[in-house]
Chain A
């Protein structure tokens, strides 16, 4: 197990190095960074000055080695636009993305698991048809449309939730960290938690519904497969309650593919959901990355790509480790 972990960590490291390098190369293929930073009628002297200041006058391979060396210490340079360390800018947005991703993921699971299980247990029934149809609908609805509908109905018409943002003005002065919900829980500041939670609910539902659609179908098909297994029949024959048979014996084994897909979904959610972040003015990493792309802010793009790759790689590693606990048949050597 330890050996496996070490190998996977090493692999993850190589993946990150590769992604970081590719990102650098691709960005520099888009053109002269100095030309992107200066207005058209900049003089040659302006170009020379900016190239010297930013280090663009050095040979590309030297720029590349310096960049990779600095990347090891999470130094991706300063944002062209904001003049702040790029990695710091990205990290400032990470708490918003993490909280949104976690709440959305929980919502997705809260929908997918019960609905998928019921659908499998009542195969062919109206409930099964309805849930399949809902899953299809969930995957077909555009995020931005759903988000706006939720805002207009639940925020505006019913006046139940805020329309946008992460937190109310008054509450933002109370928070000491950027993890508003977590801080609210651990400091027993229920006002802070509830305010942040209510702001997160609509965007999380928007994103979570899409994920839940995929997960529901997976839970359904996995459960159908598992319910026909011999050990489930044996468990019933032993007189165990329905809850124990389905909730423990069947679901535990059916959850292995759910863990795989769930891990991928969580990784995608943590990568930032640009459309939802735009609709709800949610200050996450996805929106920041797109803005950096639009402004050719290379350092921020590189920092974002690195961070997202890092998250994705390690979420998948965590998923692989979780397998071993869920399925004793899986042993890594």
Chain B
């Protein structure tokens, strides 16, 4: 018993002595802006990963040739002072004279050539190759002018260069190992990476030599991974973190009451839809069946009740900040259970039908809740589903297996972000016969997309994309459901105009202190 008492006294003493030191240490964090974007980057090799998070963080350290400002459909020059479309297959990039990487190498035409072609190095594991695959070769016109020659016209490549093809110093990246490329980044971006404690933090410091003198409001910053949303919110309310993404809507009232934090809501770019495995023989190949399923989904209720109003009903697959968006687009399949049953009956399924339904669980905002709601709605229309909520990797495996012989037909739920404003990529991905996220195949749509892909006339492209969207709607290639909102939490003293694509760029943030 005495030993127990001594232990208690000792513990209390340690605590009393320790507490002031902790508070003092906390003061030090006030010297750096701390943000949490959920997960952690897996690599600082700018050409080796493609998630939205990684792409965002890489932009802190590595400049790209172009940049898409908030709300813009088209990218503007960024690391390049200007670019000129010489002809449909040739673009000249004029680099800023005298700008250097942080190791002293010039950000010149050679670095552009090296950086854009680096993803093609044989054996180099990366996903950026396909994003820049239209590039045939790059010529050095002069020290500061790089000529990019395409295999065929690619109007979307300027936008894609705002995310991909980050500029790296050729000499440095030619010599270092893959392991060092992943952890010792050297770029010419607005920030340099000071340290990376895996699993804990990445620390950045403003690059005093960056060409853009207007974007150095935040001198020191760190990004910490906090996956659990409750913990992230607690850190925000306590002041340990000054900006978080994916603030759950159930915490908004708490944040509103807080003296240290506030929140910001913006319309997001991710659009969720129900897809069909059109290419597998099944009732889903019948247009009336797809129309019936479309009529069975109460999209307004999903937005109002399931996602608590933090989203909007969507009428098309293209969001407002990408080419081809039609603000007048209509969705002709209103929620109507009787109509749904009638269509099913006309299709020969008066007794209903049974089909698999796969959906990712825990990947998107309220995906479990939304898909559960869809299951219930379909059941009312006599479409019974074998519902399979899957972890993301498993969902990808099952989805990819759709083209294997003997695959079972299924419905699927997914959200496509298109944060980069690449309408070719977005529509191609979800609708074309070879699209990564497409269960659909319509040669007419594929033909239209091919035309748009090589057409530099913006108005014509706009017209083609709208025709594609109309055809998708007519043929019920997908049931377009809702478009998300992004909710960010931030410190009361933080000034930040949240972007619709959800990207958090350090140089957009400033503080009142």
Contacts and interface: CB of A to CB of B under 8 A. Distances in A.
Contacts of B25: 168-171, 191, 195
Contact of B182 (A83, A148, A191, A198): A83
Contact of B130 (A39, A53, A162): A39
A243 B434 contact: no
B231 to A, nearest CB: 5
A170 B28 contact: yes
Q: Which of A152, A281, A294 has the most CB of B within 10 A?
A: A281
Interface residues of B, number: 63
Contacts, number: 163
Given A281-B226, A281-B228, A52 B392 contact: no
A155 B238 contact: yes
A252 to B, nearest CB: 14
Contact of A195 (B1, B22, B48): B22
Interface string B1-43: 1111001000000100111011011111101101000000011
A85 to B, nearest CB: 7
Which of B14, B225, B231 counts the most chain A CB atoms within 10 A? B231
Query: How big is the A interface, by class?
Result: 35 or more
B3 to A, nearest CB: 7
Contacts of A287: 199
Contacts of A284: 199
A39 B21 contact: no
Contacts of B31: 169-170
A167 B26 CA distance: 10
B337 to A, nearest CB: 36
Nearest to B42: A81
Interface stretch (A68-76, A89-97, A325-333): A89-97
Given A82-B43, A92-B198, A163-B231, A170 B29 contact: yes
A43 to B, nearest CB: 9
Given A81-B42, A165-B224, A294-B393, A280 B231 contact: yes
A44 interface: no
B130, B183, B228: most-surrounded residue (chain A CB, <10 A)? B228
Describe A's contact surface by its main secondary structure: helix
A278 interface: yes
Given A41-B130, A83-B45, A190-B21, A281 B227 contact: yes
A84 B181 CA distance: 10
B127 A151 contact: no
A198 B234 contact: no
A114 B1 CA distance: 8
A84 B180 CA distance: 8
Contacts of B181: 83
B222 interface: yes
A107 B226 CA distance: 25
Contacts of A156: 234, 237-238
B391 interface: yes
B437 to A, nearest CB: 8
B71 interface: no
B201 interface: yes
B125 A50 contact: yes
A194 B34 CA distance: 22
A151 B200 CA distance: 18
Contacts of A261: none
A193 B17 CA distance: 11
A169 B28 contact: yes
The 8 closest A-B pairs by CB, nearest first: A283-B199, A170-B28, A194-B18, A168-B25, A53-B123, A169-B29, A81-B42, A83-B182
28 contacts: A31-B397, A35-B400, A39-B127, A41-B436, A49-B123, A81-B42, A82-B43, A93-B198, A114-B4, A148-B228, A148-B230, A164-B231, A164-B234, A165-B200, A169-B28, A170-B28, A171-B25, A191-B25, A197-B14, A197-B18, A198-B19, A198-B22, A281-B224, A281-B226, A281-B227, A281-B231, A294-B391, A294-B392
Interface of B: 1-4, 7, 14, 17-19, 21-22, 24-29, 31-32, 34, 42-43, 45, 48-49, 122-123, 125, 127, 129-130, 178-179, 181-183, 195, 197-201, 203, 222, 224-228, 230-231, 234-235, 237-238, 240, 391-393, 397, 400, 434, 436
Interface of A: 31, 35, 37, 39-42, 46, 49-50, 52-53, 78, 80-85, 89, 92-93, 96, 110, 114, 144, 148, 151-152, 155-156, 159-172, 190-191, 193-195, 197-198, 243, 247, 278-281, 283-284, 287-288, 294-296
